[in-house]
């Protein structure tokens, strides 16, 4: 008889222990997941507020992806713009510091002309997008003087995509 009792006990344990393990494990998983979720939610909300309150980081993305891509696009755009009187030899943009450096080979000039734009901005006026040069210098002093005297507000109408990228 004791053997039969032991067998029934073993049978009950055989089913009760896994069910109890499932219940305890599920409860534990639920409670820990809920706690971790609460911590993650608080972290997400605080990080979102922090990001919203400060300027976005500019670094590797701008340096290795955005700036070279924008440089190529602007070089193509500028090459079309000056195709009648020269070509763009080199162009680089640093969107973090809002600076552009370009080298032009102009018709009638024996040496390339270097232009360094140290401050620029994109603006919208009357539904049109413009690229405005605020500060610049060139390798030709006569060109510096002429542009500053006769075209102090140097601005160019640009496609809207350029403003979005820049």
The pLDDT tens digits for 39-77 are 888 888 877 776 656 555 556 676 778 888 888 888 988
Identify the pLDDT of residue 7: 56
CA 79 from centroid of its chain's CA atoms: 26
Extended beta strands in the chain, E state:
86-94, 99-106, 113-125, 128-138, 155-158
Domain-by-domain residue ranges, the chain? 1-54, 60-165
* Model confidence pLDDT, tens digit, residues 67-117: 888 888 889 888 998 999 999 999 999 888 889 999 999 999 999 999 999
* pTM metric for this prediction: 0.59
Identify the pLDDT of residue 21: 83
89 with 106: CB under 8 angstroms?
no
pLDDT at 15 over 80: no
pLDDT at 14 over 70: yes
């Amino acid at each position: 008889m004791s053997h039969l009792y032991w067998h029934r006990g073993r049978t009950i344990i055989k089913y009760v222990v896994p069910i109890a393990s499932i219940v305890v494990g599920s409860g534990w998983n639920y409670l820990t997941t809920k706690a971790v979720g609460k911590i993650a939610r608080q972290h997400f909300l605080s990080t979102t507020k922090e990001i919203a309150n400060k300027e976005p980081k500019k670094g590797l993305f701008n340096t290795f992806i955005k700036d070279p891509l924008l440089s190529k696009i602007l070089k193509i755009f500028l090459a079309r713009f000056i195709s009648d009187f020269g070509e763009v030899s080199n162009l680089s943009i640093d969107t973090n510091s809002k600076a552009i450096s370009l080298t032009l080979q102009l018709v009638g000039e024996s040496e390339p002309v270097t232009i360094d734009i140290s401050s620029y901005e994109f603006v919208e006026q009357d539904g049109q997008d413009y690229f405005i040069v605020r500060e610049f210098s060139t390798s030709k002093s006569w060109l510096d003087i002429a542009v500053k005297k006769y075209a102090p507000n140097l601005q160019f109408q640009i496609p809207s995509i350029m403003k979005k990228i820049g």
